[in-house]
Amino acid sequence: MADQNKKGVITLEEYIIQAQNKFPGATGELSQLLRDIGLAAKIISREVNKAGITNILGEDGSTNVHGESVKKLDLFADEQLISALNRSEITCMVISEENDGIVELDNDGGKYIVYLDPLDGSSNIDVNVSVGSIFSIYMREHPGSDKLSETEALQPGIKQVAAGYVLYGSSTMLAYTTGLGVSVFTLDPSIGEFILSDDDLKIPEHGTIYSVNEGSYHSWNQGLKQYVKYCQIDDPETERPYKARYIGSMVADVHRTLITGGIFIYPDSSFYPSGKLRLMYECNPLSFVIEQAGGMAIDGGGRILEIEPVSIHQQTPIYIGSAKNVLKVKEFLDNYASESITA
């Protein structure tokens, strides 16, 4: 460990404390919250990595609020994250994909509200494909009030005070932002600590990968159909044709997009007229991260982070990634806006 420190290795906890010390008067509560999420992520990572030799694979037998089958690891991740947030007594409520309404924690006077997708991409668990946890943190607008309600949790993404994700893949990585750039950490299993990998990660301005489920092509609007055809046309001057990559786990697809550039798309369609992905605990936090890295995220028209939510489980289309790629797809969407979606 001494040799590692000589090389300038910084742990997640050390980094959070250093960042906190840059702001005189900081209470340290947000720092504690981020450390709690980091601890829960280590526990989840351990279970994900040994899932094949424990009785934690497969479905639980229940369904969540969206009617989707719940995996055993979904529930485990949900329990670990909520438990970690409850121990710190600074979070008053949690909204999770696995729970219908708000989850009130023991400290109803806590100043933070946390949205969670405990295990994004869980349909891939049983086939050993990368999954992840996504979190989004807001300040309570009326701390100390007697009654907790969903209304307090319905804040646009621009009001997030922090957001990020943990990716459980060939290595476990944690990326987060507090509005001052994106910091990325990699879990070193030999010492059980997240180690700083990049303290100001930037997404390439343009990328040559597009990520979308093309099996749903015939349900899309005409603008998106034409954009995908554009991506496939041979044009060396614009580095086309682009490569198609689609994992089916949003956090993994967006992480790849963040590192290599390009665009991830989950559109509205004749199957999902309002989109399928959840605004508050998938699209908002990942859009915050991508924007802080220099990218863009839109719902096809406007900025994701400016959407005024009406429901904690609200769905939205999303086009997210490198700025030039997102602007290009928006050109196509605008040009064909008058044409309706046909199955």
Place of tokens 């004749």: 270
Last residue of a domain, one of 179, 198, 217: 198
Element (H, E) at 233: none
Whole-angstrom distance, CA of residue 43 vs CA of residue 73: 12
- Residue 6: the pLDDT is 43
Task: Say whether pLDDT at 287 is over 80.
Answer: yes
pLDDT at 98 over 50: yes
Tokens in use for 153? 């949790």
DSSP 102: -
pLDDT band for position 52 (50/70/90)?
Answer: low
Which value, to the nearest 10 degrees, does the dihedral of the CA atoms of residues 286, 240, 268, 251 take?
Answer: -30
Classify 161 as helix, strand or coil: strand
Q: Is residue 341 part of a domain?
A: no
What are the counts of helices (DSSP H) followed by strands (DSSP E) for the chain? 9, 17
Provide the token pair at 257.
């997009």
Number of domains comprising the chain: 2
Burial of 36 (0-12, 13-18, 19+ CB in 10 A): buried
The reply to whether 203 falls in a domain is no
Distance, CA of 101 to CA of 67 (rounded, Å): 14
| C-beta of residue 279 within 8 angstroms of C-beta of residue 299 | no
CATH code at position 327: 3.40.190.80
**Of residues 148 and 269, more confidently modeled:** 269
Percent of the residues in the chain that have a pLDDT greater than 70, as a whole number = 89
CATH number of the domain at 121, please.
Answer: 3.30.540.10
Residue 168 is assigned to a structural domain of this protein: yes
Query: Looking at the structure, do residues 93 and 217 belong to the same domain, yes or no?
Result: no
Answer yes or no: do 234 and 98 share one domain: no
Binding-site sequence positions for substrate: 120-123, 213, 246, 276
- 272 shares a domain with 240: yes
127 & 38 share domain: yes
Q: What is the predicted pLDDT for the residue at 218? A: 96
Tokens at 268, concatenated? 């509205």
**Residue 240: is its pLDDT beyond 70?**
yes
DSSP structure class, residue 341: P
Statement to judge: residues 321 and 293 lie in one domain: yes
pTM above 0.85, yes or no: yes
The residues, ordered by sequence, that sit 6+ positions from 218 with a Cβ below 8 Å of its Cβ are 342, 343
Residue numbers belonging to the annotated binding site for Mg(2+): 97, 117, 119-120, 282
- Residue 91 located in a structural domain: yes
Q: How many CB atoms are located within 10 Å of the residue 92 CB?
A: 25
* Domain match, 190 and 167 both: yes
Look at residue 3 in the predicted model and tell me its pLDDT: 44
Is it the case that residue 150 has pLDDT exceeding 80? yes
pLDDT at 126 over 90: no
Residue 48, H or E segment: helix 29-49
pLDDT over threshold 90, residue 174: yes
Of 49-58, 170-179, 320-329, least confident by mean pLDDT is 49-58
**108 pLDDT higher than 70:** yes
Could you tell me if 45 and 164 lie in one domain?
yes
| Average pLDDT of the chain, as a whole number | 89
- Chain centroid to CA 215: how far? 23
Q: Range with the lowest mean pLDDT among 5-19, 88-102, 143-157?
A: 5-19
Length of the chain as a residue count: 343
φ, ψ of residue 310 in degrees (nearest 5): -120, -10
Same domain, 124 and 170: yes
Give the burial class of 308: count Cβ atoms within 10 A of its Cβ; 0-12 exposed, 13-18 middle, 19 or more buried.
exposed
Whether residue 39 is found in the same domain as residue 128: yes
Binding site, by residue number, is 97, 117, 119-123, 213, 246, 276, 282
The residue segments making up the domain with residue 325 are 209-335
Which percentage of the chain shows pLDDT scores above 90? 73
- Choice among 45-49, 232-236, 329-333 with the minimum mean pLDDT: 45-49
pLDDT at residue 25, rounded to an integer? 61
Mean pLDDT, range 33-47, rounded to an integer:
94
pLDDT digits (tens, 9 = 90+) for 248-278: 999 999 999 999 999 999 999 999 999 999 9
CA distance 37 to 31: 10
Q: Does residue 343 belong to any structural domain of this protein?
A: no
The candidate with the shortest Cα–Cα distance to 167, out of 102, 251, 50, is 251
pLDDT of res. 4: 44
CB 52 within 8 A of CB 128: yes
Do 131 and 111 lie in a common domain? yes
**Tell me, what's the pLDDT at 5?**
44
- Residue 333's pLDDT is 97
Domain's final residue, options 147, 169, 198: 198
User: What is the structure's pLDDT at 69?
Assistant: 54
**Higher model confidence: residue 57 or residue 334?**
334
CA dihedral 66, 68, 256, 226 (to 10 degrees): -70
